[in-house]
Amino acid sequence: MFCINVLVNSEAVWPGVRTIDRSYGPMVTPAGWAYYIRDLVLFLWGLAVAAQNLVEHKGWKDGMLGAVGHSWQILWYADSIWLVLHVSGNPTGLALAPLFSLSALLASVGTQLRLAVESRELQRQLQADGHEGAPPLAYLLFVAPTSLASGWLLLLHCHAVTVALQVLTGSQQAAATAGCICLVLCSCMALPLLLRFRDVLFGLGFTFSVGSVWVSGFSADDDYRPDQLVAFFCALVIGLLTYCIAAGPQPQPAPVMGGGAGGASGLH
């Protein structure tokens, strides 16, 4: 996965992602600088892989890896296949690319949900064993890149669907309509994830990605396009909600209760 990313960025084998986007854009096309979020996610995942052998841990690493399971591998493989199909510029590959972007998205969201649920249980178990709990490094290497990836992949799937429809139908209007519908549906999917798990990084990743579609429209056209307007309102809603969650009161972890014997001894 890392080698494929380096080859694509170097443009030594395939044309760059931005080159393909310019050929099939501008509908629901993120700005070129938005792809740097993918490099950040890969960097954090690389640190997580290295940390498996380098970081001393007290159970938190095994717990995080258990929560991730094989979902990370599915996510990596599906995202790499999407990237190769996209930069190939082949119409057949571009038409098939949404299948793999959807697979990567589902794997990422599934991993995000498992980490959100099981990391809390892991925190309680570590505290019950006398440790301070999962360190910030655990959240930085495992939770943070997964949340950012989910926010980015929501927009990426919209982009892949738009490009595929433009290739298949040859109609920019049909591609724009489908892209706008995808943006709204992905925003509706992001809302419960953001509200239920209060995942600020996920909200930031999605707002950053969708906002880049709005920004990129200024360099492609003088007039507002429908996808640009939809992207603006989606980014505005999710961005404001993310700010409210980040600035609002944070949930406090539940206190660790002592064992039955300890409670009984305290009564005497």
Q: Tens digit of pLDDT for each residue in 18-27? A: 888 888 877 8
Provide the pLDDT for residue 257. Answer: 46
Provide the pLDDT for residue 19. Answer: 83
- The H or E element spanning position 226 is helix 226-247
In a domain, 228, yes or no: yes
Q: Is the pLDDT of residue 49 over 70?
A: yes
Q: What is the pLDDT of residues 149-188, one digit of tens each?
A: 999 999 999 999 999 999 999 888 888 899 999 999 999 9
In a domain, 259, yes or no: no
Give the least confident one: 53-67, 82-96, 112-126, 224-238.
53-67
Band (11; pLDDT cuts 50, 70, 90): low
In a domain, 148, yes or no: yes
pTM confidence score: 0.86
Q: CA-CA distance, 224 to 16, in Å (whole number)?
A: 27
In a domain, 202, yes or no: yes
Q: Mean pLDDT of all residues in the chain?
A: 84
Give me the mean pLDDT over the 99-126 stretch.
91
Provide the pLDDT for residue 8. Answer: 67
Q: CA-CA distance, 152 to 211, in Å (whole number)?
A: 11
Q: Which residues of 51-85 are buried (b: 16+ CB within 10 A; e: fewer)?
A: beeeeebeebbebbeebbeebbebbbebbbbbbbb
Provide the pLDDT for residue 68. Answer: 86
Q: Is the pLDDT of residue 15 over 50?
A: yes
The total domain count for the chain is 1
Band (7; pLDDT cuts 50, 70, 90): low
Provide the pLDDT for residue 119. Answer: 87
Q: Give percent above pLDDT 70 in the chain.
A: 85
In a domain, 35, yes or no: yes
In a domain, 169, yes or no: yes
Give the least confident one: 9-18, 56-65, 197-206.
9-18
In a domain, 264, yes or no: no
In a domain, 170, yes or no: yes
Provide the pLDDT for residue 136. Answer: 86
Q: Give percent above pLDDT 90 in the chain.
A: 39
Encoded tokens for 258: 């002592």
Give the least confident one: 5-14, 32-41, 62-71, 133-142.
5-14
Q: Which domain holds residue 35?
A: 2-248
